[in-house]
A and B are shown apart, each in its own frame.
Chain A
């Protein structure tokens, strides 16, 4: 096990704080009112679930299902139930967004590096890559998936939120009723309320003033997810290009809000809504209002 597979548990005031790194994000678990042994068990379970999902679905790992799919060069791959559920979910999102969200759009990262610099690709470069993008080109008949040669899938857009919910379910299974806050890089879920009735306080980072929460949300129960460009963007010609690409055009969504945070029952729901709203660009707010869920825009 290398250093990044270590999880540390410390005590802070009236709760436990467990920290580890997974899915390239700082992850933490805040556990309310529990003895040390239970807190350790919960932390271990959450970290194990996060690392399991990372191992299984990361496109970088040679032993992951996604990697197997991406090197299949057109051969059919049979996937297990969990992977099939994620693919079905992704397909639904593609349909709901009229193709703007698409897990096959990962190849476009060859043209775009969102590092704050001013590298903007040419239309020819994008057109060349768009040939390999499009869920409608994929042969998905559960449980068999067949990509065309040159296509890739990337579950990064839904993986983290799904991992938060999966981890929350594992915690509920081993310590039912325990109030803990699971935070994987800004995607947060709380299953049960805290014992003394207080809420967990979550800060939503402000885009322009890195380091100060623009808002503090008191989350008694439920989930929060945030989509935004405070850290990853391209800045050129006075325009800020967010890192959310519209799979139909290969270009970043235009006039999207800097950041969207949504509160929903599950992290997957919250994260999905932020992503779909961002893809709507300047029409993000009507979509959020119609969803009936609480949201915060920047």
Chain B
């Protein structure tokens, strides 16, 4: 896999500016992390898995209980 063309493809797909390391102050805040409340997410996933026919999306399919 050629590294540079792949980077360009990815940049092109995202169509966004490259954020420099010293500009990551906002992104470094814990509430900006996509996985900042893993326990909440696991609890929600479990509730919705047992009451609905869909599961997963954010991570693996979940489930693993006799509730569905």
Is the interface on chain B under 10, 10 to 19, 20 to 34, or 35 or more residues?
under 10
Residues of chain A contacted by B28 (CB below 8 angstroms): 201, 203, 213, 216
Considering the chains assembled together, what is the distance between the CA atoms of A26 and B24 in angstroms? 15
Q: Return the chain B residue nearest A216 by Cβ.
A: B28
Main secondary structure of the interface of A (DSSP, over half): strand
Question: Is A44 at the interface (CB under 8 A from chain B)?
Answer: no
Residues of chain B contacted by A216 (CB below 8 angstroms): 28
Considering the chains assembled together, what is the distance between the CA atoms of A287 and B20 in angstroms? 34
Residues of chain A contacted by B22 (CB below 8 angstroms): 26
Considering the chains assembled together, what is the distance between the CA atoms of A48 and B25 in angstroms? 26
Query: Contact flags (1/0) for B1-41 with A, using CB distance below 8 Å?
Result: 00000000000000000001110110010000000000000
Question: Is A211 at the interface (CB under 8 A from chain B)?
Answer: yes
- In the complex, which residues 190-210 of chain A have their Cβ closer than 8 Å to any Cβ of chain B? 201, 203, 205, 210
* Total CB contacts across the A-B interface at under 8 A: 15
Considering the chains assembled together, what is the distance between the CA atoms of A132 and B12 in angstroms? 53
Is the interface on chain A under 10, 10 to 19, 20 to 34, or 35 or more residues?
10 to 19
Considering the chains assembled together, what is the distance between the CA atoms of A266 and B45 in angstroms? 48
Considering the chains assembled together, what is the distance between the CA atoms of A222 and B20 in angstroms? 27
Residues of chain A contacted by B25 (CB below 8 angstroms): 12
Residues of chain A contacted by B21 (CB below 8 angstroms): 205, 210-212
Q: Return the chain B residue nearest A26 by Cβ.
A: B22
Residues of chain B contacted by A203 (CB below 8 angstroms): 24, 28
Considering the chains assembled together, what is the distance between the CA atoms of A26 and B21 in angstroms? 12
Residues of chain B contacted by A26 (CB below 8 angstroms): 22
Q: Return the chain B residue nearest A206 by Cβ.
A: B21
Residues of chain B contacted by A201 (CB below 8 angstroms): 28
The minimal Cβ–Cβ distance linking B4 to chain A, given in whole angstroms, is 17
Residues of chain B contacted by A211 (CB below 8 angstroms): 20-21, 24
- In the complex, which residues 217-244 of chain A have their Cβ closer than 8 Å to any Cβ of chain B? none
Query: Contact flags (1/0) for A108-147 with B, using CB distance below 8 Å?
Result: 0000000000000000000000000000000000000000
- In the complex, which residues 231-289 of chain A have their Cβ closer than 8 Å to any Cβ of chain B? none
The minimal Cβ–Cβ distance linking A283 to chain B, given in whole angstroms, is 31
The minimal Cβ–Cβ distance linking B43 to chain A, given in whole angstroms, is 27
Considering the chains assembled together, what is the distance between the CA atoms of A204 and B54 in angstroms? 41
Considering the chains assembled together, what is the distance between the CA atoms of A65 and B21 in angstroms? 35
The minimal Cβ–Cβ distance linking A219 to chain B, given in whole angstroms, is 14
Residue among A26, A201, A210 with max Cβ neighbours from chain B (10 Å): A201
Considering the chains assembled together, what is the distance between the CA atoms of A187 and B54 in angstroms? 51
Q: 9 extra interchain contacts, Cβ-Cβ under 8 A, other than A12-B25, A216-B28?
A: A201-B28, A203-B24, A205-B21, A211-B20, A211-B21, A211-B24, A212-B24, A213-B24, A213-B28
**Residue contacts A-B, CB under 8 angstroms, 15 given:** A12-B25, A26-B22, A201-B28, A203-B24, A203-B28, A205-B21, A210-B21, A211-B20, A211-B21, A211-B24, A212-B21, A212-B24, A213-B24, A213-B28, A216-B28
Q: Closest 5 interchain pairs by CB?
A: A211-B21, A203-B28, A210-B21, A213-B28, A205-B21
